[in-house]
Chains A and B, each alone.
Chain A
Amino acid sequence: MNLSYKNYLYLDITARNDWSSTLPKTQWSYFFPSFTASYVFSDAWHIDPSVLSFGKLRAAWAEGAVDVPPYIINTIYNSSSFAGQPTSSLPGALPAIAYKPQINKTADFGVTLGFLNNRFNFDFRYYHGRAIQQLLNSPLPITSGVGSIIVNTGVLENSGLEMILRARLIDKKNFKWDMSLNMSNNYNRLLSLTKGANRVDMANIWGASGNYISALVGQEFGSIMGYDYVYDPKTHKPLLQDANLLMQNFGVDANTAAAMKGTMYQSTNSIVPIGNATPKFRGGMTNTFTFGSISVNALIDWKIGGQMWSGTYASDMQQGTAPETLKERDGGGLPYTTPDGTATKWGVILPGVYPDGTTNTTVVHYYYKYMQYGVWSSGPNGNNWVHSTGVFNDTWYKLRELSVSYAIPNRFVKKTKAFQALSVSLVGRDLFYLYSSLPDHINPEGSNGAGNAQGIEFASLPGVRSVGVQLRAAF
């Protein structure tokens, strides 16, 4: 239903009822409405258009609902056969107890302003939503019999800001400068799941030996979960393994443990949050300069904040292919005598303290400094992984597109008798990063996965720059 009052006050109301066979009988029918109101105050107050050419406030509240995938509400057994007879077993994921439609409620406020005969336009939006009865999958230990539980009671919160500014900064006959700027921020939080469930995994590399991108109950989306150093509560420095731990963890005798002093850090037993992949802001700026029939267009975009675990960096460091690993090999380390008696400058001291509080001063081979970066397979003695060394802030600014266009003058175009307009452009895309916070030219956009699953990078290909010529014709 659309209502308007004097062409400056509008109210839209929708009401929708769906029936879905994928839900249990009591839930087949579900209703969801939406309300949108807008007030064009520039018209209502008859404001001088040369000052405020357009002004609108809007507010909306909408409910959306979707059903669940077909068949998942049914209790079923996996069936197969063995030795000519049927077999039957419980499924590997625990089904939800009661299925309901997934509901998303969002409140939205915005203002749109145009100044100086719309030479400057500004649009701002804030939204805050809550999604309930969400269908999510939360891991359980297989010792429970199942690897995960399907949750139909997930509650998510989603809020954010979007802002767009468009301006014609210079408007001369032979020279025009248009600029547009947009910024956005989004914040997602997992509020609750169900009793006994604590996490939703969006992405993972190498199973329980690797990293996860997860949402923990009560926390923001995009947590990078992995193994970390264990920190001394007093000095806040990383703890190294003392002789007792080395003997336990490596099954070695006291003499070997003494010889291994200063080589190994302690690491957490389980995965812990070691970063968050959600960016603070994303944005872009386009500048277009028009000189008669030639125009130059430049798009710069950026991502500010949000972290990434780089498996490429971890591997490069461990395998000695990152340039910074050359330091000791080039003789920039501490004096160190190899087991065969050769005097070298290969030594390092792993910064940290021992459980008894003493600071580590033992010089060891540089191998131990770099080895810890990329250990992710488990041996017979449990884990000694540290993933936090591969976590970086991933902030970047990129010259996304630069183009120069020439509009072929009309007098030539008309002579063709075929075209209405013709233009030729030289276009460069993904040209270069103006700034990247990542080391060793790792691709800042090389994350495996998309959406909420971003934050794990491993062996990503470098970005590809493309330059082309474009011909546009209108008939």
Chain B
Amino acid sequence: MHPSKNIFIYVLSGMFVLASCTKNFQELNATHNEPSSTTIGPVINGIDQSLFMGGTEQGCVHNDYYFPATQLAATTAFSAFVLSNGVNEIWNGYYGTLQNINLAQDMINAVSDKESMNNIQAVLYILRAYKTFRVTDQFGDIPYFNAGKAYTGNSTNFRVSYDSQQLIYDSLLNDLDWAVKNINTSASPVTASGTPYQSLGSYETVLGNKMVTWQKFANSLRLRYAMQMVEKDPATAAPIILDAINNSAGLISDGGDIAMWPASLASYDLSSRWFAYSTGGTGLSRMSSTMWNMVSDDTTTAAIFDPRAALFVETNAAGSWAPYTIGVSQGDNVNAFTNAGGLNGQTVKNGVLYSLPNWYIIRDEWYVPELIMTAAEVHFLKAEAYARGLGVGADLTMAQTEYTAGITSSVNFWYNVAAATNDATEDWAAAAPPPPTPAQMQTLFLNPKVAFTGTTADAVTKIYAQEWLSYFRQPWLAYNLWRRTFNTPVDPNSNPSSTYTTFYRLPYAQDEAVNNTDNYNTQIGKMGGNNSSYKVWWMK
């Protein structure tokens, strides 16, 4: 054989040997620690988890801005957080979840008998509506309809334009309407063509996949958000308010409060709240004089008329009730919460001059829930609707009934939470006073600041005041109420700076300026800048 032929054979067989090494290539390069496919259940459970608020969101956006802007609480100085960090947390969290919501929607769309997905579709609509309302309420117009779709690979979805808050509201309210009408609460529903309904089963962790509860939640959200837009678009809002109050789905009722209960979420460690007040927030939150005025007649313990005072706030280091008047009180720029661990951490107050939020309500990580929507809120929304004749006919008697029920619901709710909160270091159940007696409740209702007397305008003001107070752990809802009505309590002695009095929205995340520049510029061009003094659509 000619030598060159030999070489050719050697090279060829060498190539063959090498090529055969690729036999295990696919197995070698397979990802072993993450799945390559998924189903809708785990995706929805991930969205469920995203209902928790972030620590920086609470520490900066709530404690530094929403609490002092609404005067529901005060802060002695800006925390160690920067506003943009809180903004980024809300913004990134929402849009990171929105792509998973869109992915879940794709999975629903792929099912041939779509009716069999109705209950899952309703849950997805409700989750999307709740999350999106929260974000548009805080920022105003936002990218929504085409947002969170880069995962499809279509480059037109890489940089998307901003959608008007009004269109977002209309769309989400339609989705909620669909959810209320299409949730099938039968035990084992089947479609018209006989297919059994698909169920999320145990993957749905927040409401335990109880479709009746989901339906009431959806209907209650319709009431909340129709009311939020009622000053701007009463023609759209009023029929929704009417329908939400009267339809057969019902609303969240006493004891049925929608919340993230850590103990029932496989003992979830809700550490973000304590983080927000202590580590990063540096313990600068104080009891505002405005809040104190709504629960007490002077600074003696005997003058407290609202039983919630004992659960919401506590005395300063000297054991006195010392409310902080926003823009007037001075000093006290110290971390009130220096003893995070250990028994009796609540007794160490680092010499603070002013009263504080209650230790247990912010320290507990295992029992105190993070609230989504309470029965008290529903009562106050109904009270307002009846007092003002929004959707339903004006009826001050009904308004008073709902108003009284709202206060009662809020008081009971917090006393129930306190009684159930008992872990190794935080035994609130033992520290909290017993639930108020009927006589104590009577004292509350008869106090002139609470008694449902006077003109309709007085009644509306009192409804707002009690609704505002019931949001002590939902400052973002107090912020919505303040911006909508500008009729929430304000201490006449306070002197807030324009940072708070014109804080109408969160500025967009700067990531938009850098990476979605054209759409961002178009949007802020309409607004005259990315300013927090710009009013969102539903504000008067």
Contact = CB atoms under 8 A, between A and B. Distances in A.
Interface of A: 17, 19, 21-22, 25, 28-29, 70-71, 73-80, 82-90, 92, 94, 97, 139-147, 149, 194-197, 207-209, 212, 245, 248-249, 251-252, 269-271, 377-383
Given A88-B38, A141-B159, A146-B150, A208 B95 contact: no
Contacts of A209: 84, 510
Which of A22, A80, A89, A197 neighbours the largest number of chain B CB atoms within 10 Å of its CB? A89
Nearest to B206: A83
Contact of B205 (A29, A85, A97): A85
Contact of B531 (A84, A197, A382): A382
A379 B96 CA distance: 24
Contacts of B143: 143
Given A270-B514, A382-B529, A251 B498 contact: yes
B110 to A, nearest CB: 16
Nearest to A92: B96
Contacts of B203: 85-86
B375 to A, nearest CB: 23
A83 B45 contact: yes
B394 to A, nearest CB: 37
A51 to B, nearest CB: 45
A270 B513 contact: yes
Interface of B: 15, 18-19, 21-22, 24-26, 28-31, 34-39, 41-43, 45-46, 48-49, 65, 82-84, 87-88, 91-92, 95-100, 102-103, 142-143, 147-151, 153, 155-160, 202-203, 205-206, 265-266, 268, 498-499, 502-503, 507, 509-517, 520-521, 524, 528-533
A251 B82 contact: no
Nearest to B521: A269
Contacts of B30: 71, 74
11 contacts: A21-B26, A85-B203, A86-B41, A139-B514, A140-B159, A142-B515, A144-B95, A197-B158, A208-B509, A208-B513, A380-B65
Contacts of A146: 99, 150-151
B36 A73 contact: no
A29 B16 CA distance: 12
Chain B residues touching A, majority SS? helix
A199 to B, nearest CB: 8
B514 A208 contact: yes
B147 A144 contact: yes
Nearest to A86: B42
Given A87-B45, A208-B509, A79 B19 contact: no
Given A142-B509, A269-B521, 16 more contacts: A17-B18, A19-B19, A29-B22, A75-B36, A76-B34, A79-B34, A84-B205, A87-B42, A94-B153, A144-B95, A207-B511, A208-B510, A270-B521, A379-B83, A382-B530, A383-B513
Given A97-B153, A381-B531, A83 B268 contact: yes
A245 B509 CA distance: 20
Contacts of B516: 141, 143
B248 to A, nearest CB: 31
B227 to A, nearest CB: 26
Contacts of B15: 17
Contacts of A142: 91-92, 95-96, 509, 511, 515
Contacts of A377: 82, 84
A143 to B, nearest CB: 4
Contact of A269 (B88, B151, B524): B524
B46 A88 contact: yes
A251 to B, nearest CB: 3
A90 B95 CA distance: 12
Given A208-B510, A248-B531, A378-B82, A71 B159 contact: no
Contacts of A28: 22, 25
Contacts of A70: 29
A245 B29 CA distance: 57
A87 B84 CA distance: 29
A10 B184 CA distance: 83
A94 B151 CA distance: 6
A77 B33 CA distance: 10
A149 B158 CA distance: 9
Given A74-B36, A196-B155, A145 B96 contact: yes
A411 to B, nearest CB: 61
Contact of B517 (A76, A248, A270, A378): A270
A142 B148 CA distance: 8
